[in-house]
Structure 1
Amino acid sequence: MPVELSDPVAAVRRFNRFYTPAIGLLKNGYLETPYTAAEGRALYEIGKGDGVTAKTIGEITGLDAGYLSRIVARLERDGVIAREPAANDRRSTLLRLTPHGAEIFEAFDRRSSALVEGLIAGLSGAERARLVEAVETVQELLGPDKTPAPVTLRLHRPGDMGWITERHGLNYAREYGWNGHIEAVTARICADFLDGYDPALERCWIAERGGERLGCVFLVKDEVPGVARLRLLMLEPAARGLGLGRRLVEECVAFARAAGYREIVLWTHAVLTAARAIYAATGFELEETWTHDDFGAPEVSETWRLRL
């Protein structure tokens, strides 16, 4: 059964169940050595570090200090590592491989590379490139030093209208139980925008972060001269609470003023409380209400207007 996009916890847990046995983490001896995976991880940091403290290993691996101390003691008893004072701080002790430890580490490192090469042996060049991209994406998203990319607003591109239509249909169905008519309405608005697009007087903005679409809004010509219409303000659930909705609306207002419009009008629904709060905070005023059942159940529709 495929994991839904809305359940990342299940997806990560499923990957963990696949990957841990695939790389031998559940075996008693990791990579055909007498050591556990945690001991092998410490050995790797010592082998690659060329003189590293236990504290540094703990910071890199996240291993508990007491557990790490027992690992270091075992490796020392086995003659794999040796301690020596740090040249710049006699109170600090560095860990290095012994000649015997270097032999063990070389075999350990070679087996680790061979294991991974075996896993990817059947992949084509293109598939290997996809794998590298996916692994780097996981590191970027889950790494301890992850800094969220900035949210940018850009103009529409090919493919955006299909995404806007899909996300309106899915989000409104999930959150409000609306039927497929909302998707039909959205598709018509998108088609009309593309067919009659006037870049001097109209815009579609896509909010994006790290290449992922987070939301959208349109400003288009109304049937009444001098009046613009704000349409299809939408944010993905994960993008809410960032002030992005207001940013999109303010972008519409600034563009409308620069384009010479005298008013902006919009159609919304009473149930969309977050959007209504943004409109009110931006200076729009509620002008008219009525009820319809186009989306499967009675909904209170509203017209809001902003005089520029």
Structure 2
Amino acid sequence: MTDSEALQRAQAVRHFNRFYTQHIGALHEHLAKSAFSLTEVRVLNELFRGRAQTASALGRNLGLDSGYLSRLLTSFERRNLITRRPSELDARQSLISLTDVGHAAYAPLDTAAIGEVCVLLDSLAPLDQDQLIASMKLIERLLGDQPKHELVTLRQPRAGECSWLVHRQAQWFAAQHGWDQTFEGLLARFVADYAQRRDSVREMCCIADQKGMVVGSVCIVAVSTTVAGVRLLWVEPNVQRLGIGTQLLGESVRFARRAGYTKLTLTTAATLGEPRRLCERAGFKLAGTTAERRFGKDLTIERWELEL
């Protein structure tokens, strides 16, 4: 990346920060009419939503200076908004909880804040709301300290998700490996053929869902009456090595067996280490390799097979 490109990206982030800050300020205009500052409301919200916490945990979660937070908590204690009790795990720490007075003081602010967000969302069409929330979740996943270990569930694809997977994989392989548009065309044909056949007995597509975000996928398609092929096996790069690929491939094997296939195949390029690792762990055997010109590159194509 050139210095010019890096600067443009930094400026784009700063532009979004200004835009977001303005909107957050608008959403919290009601605070001027309350007895609490925005920072005080953030602390109250943290205590309102969770169990008793220590001051160090509050400071860490909210990014607040320890001295400032100490003064703020002392003020809360004087106003009977919080209580402190010694921690059973660490006598040097105190557990902080909202009192009944604290709950009563914060509850109207929470209700008002939710109402303002609902007004903001109501100005958008339902599909735009979904796109906005998905984008917010993506930012959390990419920038959060520990966003990657959330529970992953497997489900059927929703409208548009298979096409999105084509877009996502074509985009990533072009950026990382220089593959050309013929790869996107191949993926698009897989998806089109699968969607048109709609054979739920012999074929399936599975989405890995993490808190409403698509983080992986796999499809099983019929190659013959006895052989099935793995297609669109994908795990988002920033959540790889967390067992998601193993989960997807394991579900593929179970489906293929239930559908009566005797063999499951997977084709990949030798330069891609992740599919090979998943195949080996699932018990696939390397059945052969060929040198081919694919996707604008000279590749060694590997064919993996699993006897069912």
Query: How do 1:1-308 and structure 2 match up within 5 A?
Result: 13-18=14-19, 41=40, 59=58, 63-67=64-68, 125-127=122-124, 141=140, 149-223=150-224, 225-308=225-308
* Structure 1 residue 193, shift from structure 2 partner: 1.1
Distance 1:226 1:210, change over 3 A: same
* Structure 1 residue 218, shift from structure 2 partner: 1.1
Secondary structure of 1:298's counterpart equals strand
* Structure 1 residue 182, shift from structure 2 partner: 0.4
| CA-to-aligned-CA distance 1:98-146 (integer Å, 9 cap, x gap) | xxxxxxxxxxxx9xx9xxx9xx99x794259959x86xx67x9499998
CA distance in 2, matches of 1:234, 1:87: 49
Distance 1:288 1:151, change over 3 A: same
Distance 1:264 1:14, change over 3 A: same
* Structure 1 residue 220, shift from structure 2 partner: 1.3
| CA-to-aligned-CA distance 1:132-184 (integer Å, 9 cap, x gap) | x86xx67x949999896421111233212211211121111111110000000
Distance 1:294 1:126, change over 3 A: same
CA distance in 2, matches of 1:166, 1:214: 14
Secondary structure of 1:214's counterpart equals strand
CA distance in 2, matches of 1:88, 1:269: 59
2:101 corresponds in structure 1 to none
Which deviates more, 179-188 or 252-261?
252-261
CA distance in 2, matches of 1:247, 1:146: 19
CA distance in 2, matches of 1:128, 1:190: 28
CA distance in 2, matches of 1:72, 1:263: 64
**TM-score between both structures, scaled by the size of structure 1:** 0.63
CA distance in 1, matches of 2:302, 2:83: 75
**TM-score between both structures, scaled by the size of structure 2:** 0.63
Percent identical? 34
* Structure 1 residue 294, shift from structure 2 partner: 2.3
* Structure 1 residue 17, shift from structure 2 partner: 3.6
Which amino acid letter does the alignment assign opposite residue 259 of structure 1? Answer: A
Q: Which structure 2 residue ranges, 5 or more long, are not aligned?
A: 26-30, 49-53, 86-93, 95-108
Which amino acid letter does the alignment assign opposite residue 288 of structure 2? Answer: E
2:89 corresponds in structure 1 to none
Secondary structure of 2:220's counterpart equals strand
Distance 1:58 1:248, change over 3 A: closer
Distance 1:211 1:71, change over 3 A: closer
CA distance in 1, matches of 2:9, 2:207: 24
Distance 1:8 1:87, change over 3 A: same
Q: Which structure 1 residue ranges, 5 or more long, are not aligned?
A: 25-29, 32-36, 50-54, 76-80, 93-109
Contact 2:56 2:66 in 1 (8 A): no
CA distance in 1, matches of 2:165, 2:15: 30
Distance 1:12 1:205, change over 3 A: same
1:95 corresponds in structure 2 to none
If asked which structure has higher relative contact order (CA below 8 Å, sep 6+), I would say: 2
RMSD: 5.1
1:99 corresponds in structure 2 to none
CA distance in 2, matches of 1:127, 1:199: 35
Larger of the two Rg values belongs to structure: 1
